[in-house]
Amino acid sequence: MVTTVILGTVFVGTMYPTPEGVYGWLPYLFLSYLSAGALIVWRRKKVETA
């Protein structure tokens, strides 16, 4: 639990304030990549238990 809070704090620190230029959308690209990976893992676990 503590690790999740620390990871969340670090992630929010990279998202806000948003940097200028190209670096402004890179955190959102990383967020979508991370979300896609979490979704894949979640779906695989759901299929294994069904």
- Report the amino acid identity of residue 9: T
Query: Which residue would you say has higher pLDDT here, 49 or 9?
Result: 9
- Report the amino acid identity of residue 37: G
- The pTM assigned to this predicted structure is 0.57
Per-residue pLDDT tens over the stretch 23-47 = 778 878 888 998 999 999 999 988 8
Indicate if the pLDDT at residue 49 is higher than 80: no
Is residue 15 a contact partner of residue 31, using CB atoms and an 8 Å limit?
A: yes
Looking at the structure of the chain, the number of domains it has is 1
Backbone torsion region of residue 6, taken as left when φ is above 0, otherwise alpha when ψ lies between -120 and 50, otherwise beta: alpha
Residue range of the domain that includes 13: 2-49
CA dihedral 28, 31, 32, 36 (to 10 degrees): 170
Q: What percent of the chain has pLDDT over 90?
A: 18
